[in-house]
Structure 1
Amino acid sequence: MTTTTALWSRAQQQDFRARVRGCLLGGAIGDALGAGIEFHSLGMIRDSHGPAGVRDYVRAYGRRGAVTDDTQMTLFTVDGLIRAETGRDAGEWNAPAEVHRAYLRWRATQRYEAPDLRDPALGRLGRQEWLYSQRAPGNACLSGLEDDRMGTLAAPKNRESKGCGTVMRSAPFGLLVDREPAQVFHLAAECAAQTHGHPSGVLAAAAFAAIVHGVVRGGTLEGSVHEALGLLAGWSGHEETAAALRQALDAVRQGAPSAERLETLGQGWVAEEALAMGVYCALVAEDIRHGLLLAVNHSGDSDSTGSLCGNLLGALHGETALPADLLAELEGRAEIAELADDFAMELTQGAQLHGPGVASTAWAERYPAA
């Protein structure tokens, strides 16, 4: 996928949709694999599940295959980006504002037990009752969205926070394949600042989006990491994030992958560590299952590192490479796939849904204007 124009061949559309589905569903699978062991040490995991650790879903939030706030916020990122794309008809593309409004809708899912179906602004995603559930949301994500003021790069929310709540929701920015890498990087940074202000929290999210972007456009994973490092170099405060990515690259060459080697990169509670761990697991993965299981079996934020690895491997290989047994049991599978299809359709066929002389009522109800 290398196109940056509005003209897509059928083969390009099919490839792009497969990668979008792979990215979102793969991230959700990794999230769900880690959900039940997120706060367990590696020793506890091995004591409970054997020397190899977990090999399948563990019950969490009352079921197997349950996703967490990582997937919730990722889906609302997609929702905001689709709405931003529809605004281009009026000559506007205010993606940070649309994503912020989407995050406020996510914040409502953490406050209320069910959607207010009378509110037309909710759109399709905001009406999904299964999303109205607290799944260990990050404190900075909650407090950053406590009021309506949007954090910006100049005036971010939670200036000292660099929790992984930025990076775990940022894969969708990388799916904007008709944008240049620097634009994707900057947009992800702007939207990370809505909840986290520390440079590493902001730039880890931006780097992750840039890596996903490179992969979806047909680049190799390692090459996309190097491109992200190049983008990082132009930003103040990049040193910690760049060092974490270089450590991940170095770890690939230090021997066979293992939980112990993964833990040399950190525990994943902070953004740059989660980024490095997710990237490392994707780089050394023999296949998607191997990479995901490596990414969750450690003493740290297992669901976040699992989701990042899943985003990357799904974007790289497409949805048909995802483990079928894990996909079959995934919470929200149908809704995630449908949202992925909507995103791909908006980017490749948006002119047939809205614009001069075109108005799909169904699309406007799914993604209403602000």
Structure 2
Amino acid sequence: MDTIMAVCGTGIAGAGTLSRLDRIRGCLLGGAAGDALGAPVEFLEWAAIRAIHGPEGIRDFAPAYGGLGTITDDTQMMLFTAEGLLRAYVQGSSLRHTHVPSVIHQSLLRWLNTQDCPGELAVPMDGWLVREPALWARRAPGATCISALRASRRLGQSAQNHSKGCGAVMRVAACAFFGNAFEFAAMSGQLTHGHPGGYLTAGLFADILQRMVDEEQTLESAITESLIAYGSLPGLEEVRTLIDRVLFFHSEGYLPTPDTIAELGGGWVAEEALAIGIWCALTAENLEEGIVRAVNHGGDSDSTGLIAGHLLGLQYGVRAIPQRWYQQLELRNVIERMAADIERVPRDFCGYGGSFDEAILVDYPLS
């Protein structure tokens, strides 16, 4: 991909009250909490949300997919993307040639098989993650992701579509903890979304998260620095315009409401979802407030809630997640395990070489 830099970042060792593991756990669990809060209202207009949940909208987990605190395809695909990154670490550390997007692709194809939608490519259904029963549940998977993965003829193949839906953005948070987050996330996004506005926005989101965790930048600073680094790339014009607008709103003290969020869009496409999630995170005094704002609008509530949750969870850590959410969150133990495994990987992992953790081979086998 010509527009993506193929260099690896080294990050700055974190210091402060939150450890790197605290931030990883907070990021992944915060995103899942936003996903779960938004799941019951994903396809509802704001008037319907208000009629069902009251004038302030939804604030607590409500029934969705047969349970409370149930996650959607967003968190499922996030976990499989994380698995792909960890498998790439194992493969690269064993001194095998490693093309990271191809290894992520293989993991996403495992997810595709859990959705009872086998594609053209056969992949081994091994490792621990695919054995988790809840990940086989069908949670309104995005049509673009399904069709692009089913059509893949070789690992690492870019999607043959022109979609910039938010399905490329919502799954890439784990890329923030590996090598060059922008490169890994953008190339991962390009597996399913062919429009630069889709896959480059995924890269921008992961880069913002990485700046927050590795350089301990504030959210506002991370956004600004990420736009300086990548915002001029062809394809990012629309997302830069929306994020600049959100930064202006924040500087003027404008708060996101269901009506003002609607002016940005519904969040169904990449730039809208990221802008909504960023605005709600920037203006929130705590994680709960930001996620509640991010899901209460007539659009893609679970994805915008997930994005805000990733940002705020990384900023504040897992303790910021309300206990009433944390205790009911589906797959909480699976996400905790994935966060712990990610923390074991050197932060400057670039897809090859490096120290090798033999214990991780059992969970993330070579393919």
- Normalising by the residue count of structure 1, what TM-score does the alignment of the two structures yield? 0.88
The more displaced of 22-31 and 219-228 is: 219-228
Contact map agreement 2:110 2:125 (CA 8 A) in 1? no
Q: Which has the higher helix share?
A: 1
Q: What code does the residue aligned with 1:163 have?
A: G
Per-residue deviation at 1:61? 0.3
Q: Secondary structure at the match of 2:345?
A: helix
Which residue of structure 2 aligns with residue 262 of structure 1?
261
Per-residue deviation at 1:202? 1.1
Q: Is 1:215 aligned to 2:220, yes or no?
A: no
Q: Using the alignment, how far apart are the partners of 1:87 and 1:267 within structure 2?
A: 39
Aligned residue among 218, 231, 234 for 1:233 = 231
Q: CA RMSD in A?
A: 2.6
Matched with 2:280 is 281
Q: Secondary structure at the match of 1:146?
A: helix
Partner Cα separation in structure 1 for residue 212 and residue 321 of structure 2: 16
Question: Residue 163 of structure 2: SS of its match in structure 1?
Answer: coil
Q: Which amino acid aligns with 1:220?
A: T
Distance 2:318 2:34 in 1: 13
Q: Please name the residue that 2:80 is paired with.
A: 76
Aligned counterparts of 2:42 and 2:355: Cα–Cα separation in 1? 49
Distance 1:327 1:72 in 2: 17
Corresponding residue for residue 170 of structure 2: 168
C-alpha displacement of 1:315: 0.9
Q: Residues 10 and 348 of structure 2 are in contact (CA less than 8 Å); yes or no, is this contact kept in structure 1?
A: no
Structure 1 gaps, min length 5: 114-118
The equivalent residue for 1:130 is 134
> Shift of residue 356 of structure 1?
7.7
Query: Which residue of structure 2 lines up, in the alignment, with residue 100 of structure 1?
Result: 105
Aligned length: 349
Query: 1:310 maps to what in 2?
Result: 309
The residue aligned with 2:364 is 367
Q: Which runs of 5+ in 2 are unaligned?
A: 1-8
TM-score normalised to structure 2 length: 0.88
State whether residues 8 and 348 of structure 1, in contact with CA within 8 Å, keep that contact through their aligned partners in structure 2: no
Match of 1:87 in 2: 91
| 1:193-248 alpha-carbon deviations (Å, 9 max, x no partner) | 10000111111111111111111120110111112212333422221121121122
* 2:297 aligned residue: 298
Aligned partner of residue 135 in structure 1, secondary structure: coil
Check whether the contact 2:256–2:279 (CA below 8 A) recurs between aligned residues. Answer: no
Equivalence for 2:184:
187
Amino acid at match of 1:141: C
The aligned counterpart of 1:116 is: none
Residues 268-277 or 256-265, more deviating = 256-265
Worse overlay, 223-232 or 272-281: 223-232
Change (3 A) 1:120 1:151: closer
CA contact (8 A) 1:112 1:132 kept: no
